[in-house]
Structure 1
Amino acid sequence: MRVALLNDPSAELFSNQLLTIGNGHVPVDASNGFISFPPNFCNFVSTKEELINKVFPNIIANHKNYDWLSERVILAAKNKDVDHLNFKIQNQIVGTLHSFKSIDCVTNEDEATNYPTEFLNSLDVPGLPPHNLQLKVGSVVIMLRNLNQPKLCNGTRLAVTKLMANVIHARLLKGKFK
């Protein structure tokens, strides 16, 4: 949907490459069982630190430059990898770390003993924010729920501009509604 809204040929090419890989239409090397990525698909690195430095060079000086941020993203398949990368990147950003905790409870009081709050807080479900969301001004976040389609739809990238006790102010990074 975002590729169609942006009318970006390079984004469409990348999207098609992802679909080709995901649908299993890329030849597999018989000797090692690996697939070969197209030469213009991505850049390879050997460590997470090298990845962060290649994608976000000089983040200390640029974390409030929204045009610079809008051109950078790291994709990861697992929440634990995302959490680890977010932690490392946010530690480089100057500022106070704010913590936003979820309020987890069961709807049926009879089930409260089966699902204690500690258990609910420990769940790390894809598509839901973590129990303890930690952010700094300048952090990049992703909209998880459609609030105002197509302007604020799930997957929209935003940069945090202000943090208060129960409100997060953020600015759209990309798209025609920026």
Structure 2
Amino acid sequence: MEKLFWCKICCSVTSQQDLISSVYGDFADVGNQTGSWLCKRAILTPRNDQAAAINLKILTHVSGNSVQYTSINTVMEEEDATHYPVEFLESLNTPGLPAHKIVLKIGVPIILLSLCPPKLCNGTRLKITNLQQNIIEAEILTGCGAGDVVFIPRIPLIPNNFPFSFKRVQFPVSLCYAMTINKAQGQTLSVAGVDLTTDCFSHGQLYVALSRVNNPNNLFVYIPTGSTYNIVYTEALS
């Protein structure tokens, strides 16, 4: 059984635009911020598609030329090729798998979606310093390698949550002005925004979102309906 109750939240904002401004300030300045400033703030959402939409919205206001990277997708078993055409594979998205199309600019923050030894692990945040056709150059913002510059290649990734096997060759990164609440678990931020256009859907998710900052004055929440559900599985607490 889920226990649901209405929760009142302070530091609320009235629009997604206000949420972005509260966390990142003036759109025109976002692309000029330092890595140390960027890695201490984020907008959190329950769903990947919400985070992707916010990231794209912010990216369009960042100065500079954008570079688009497209993935190569192939089925692992030859007999599956007729059932799962390339266009279908390109449309697939799942947590931990980079999108078929990634649009980036120099100076924007990204988060790593896969392990890239020796210095990079899943969840590492970086700031892009250069974009090449087959390499992304970036400065590590979090973790033991913070401050180091690394080169990220395209890598093959094989998701395991589909009824068939396919491989996507892509840079294992995504923009991280906004990220999912689950991705932010364990991180401490100076400023955080929470977009609850869609309610949290799992046990403890809302608590994780609201506990990323130490100062409640630096926590900004956007709830279009004015209230939200906190989901608690009582069995997990007994």
Whole-Å separation in 1 of the counterparts to 2:73 and 2:99? 11
The residue number in structure 2 matching 1:44 is: 12
Structure-2 change in CA distance of 1:59 and 1:71 (3 Å): farther
* Correspondence 1:110 to 2:82: no
Q: TM-score, normalised by structure 2?
A: 0.56
Shift of 1:36: 4.8
Whole-Å separation in 1 of the counterparts to 2:56 and 2:30? 17
Shift of 1:59: 4.3
Whole-Å separation in 1 of the counterparts to 2:117 and 2:73? 25
Whole-Å separation in 1 of the counterparts to 2:50 and 2:29? 25
Whole-Å separation in 2 of the counterparts to 1:148 and 1:45? 40
Runs of 4+ with deviation above 3 angstroms: none
The residue number in structure 2 matching 1:21 is: none
1:63, 1:69 within 8 Å by CA — same for their partners in 2?
Answer: no
Whole-Å separation in 2 of the counterparts to 1:78 and 1:62? 23
The residue number in structure 1 matching 2:7 is: 35
The residue number in structure 2 matching 1:156 is: 124
Amino acid at match of 1:35: C
Amino acid at match of 2:85: P
The residue number in structure 2 matching 1:15 is: none
Whole-Å separation in 2 of the counterparts to 1:124 and 1:107? 17
* Correspondence 1:122 to 2:91: yes
- Which of 43, 61, 64 in structure 2 is aligned with 1:95? 64
- Which of 134, 138, 145 in structure 2 is aligned with 1:170? 138
Give 1 or 2: higher helix fraction. Answer: 1
Shift of 1:94: 0.4
Whole-Å separation in 2 of the counterparts to 1:54 and 1:127? 28
1:99, 1:132 within 8 Å by CA — same for their partners in 2?
Answer: yes
1:79, 1:124 within 8 Å by CA — same for their partners in 2?
Answer: no
2:67, 2:104 within 8 Å by CA — same for their partners in 1?
Answer: yes
Shift of 1:63: 2.4
SS at match of 2:123: coil
Q: Among the aligned pairs, what percent are the same residue?
A: 36
The residue number in structure 2 matching 1:75 is: 44
Whole-Å separation in 1 of the counterparts to 2:16 and 2:8? 21
Structure-2 change in CA distance of 1:87 and 1:62 (3 Å): closer
Shift of 1:67: 1.8
Whole-Å separation in 1 of the counterparts to 2:68 and 2:30? 23
SS at match of 2:110: strand
SS at match of 1:142: strand
Q: TM-score, normalised by structure 1?
A: 0.73
SS at match of 1:105: strand
Whole-Å separation in 2 of the counterparts to 1:93 and 1:159? 14
Aligned length: 144
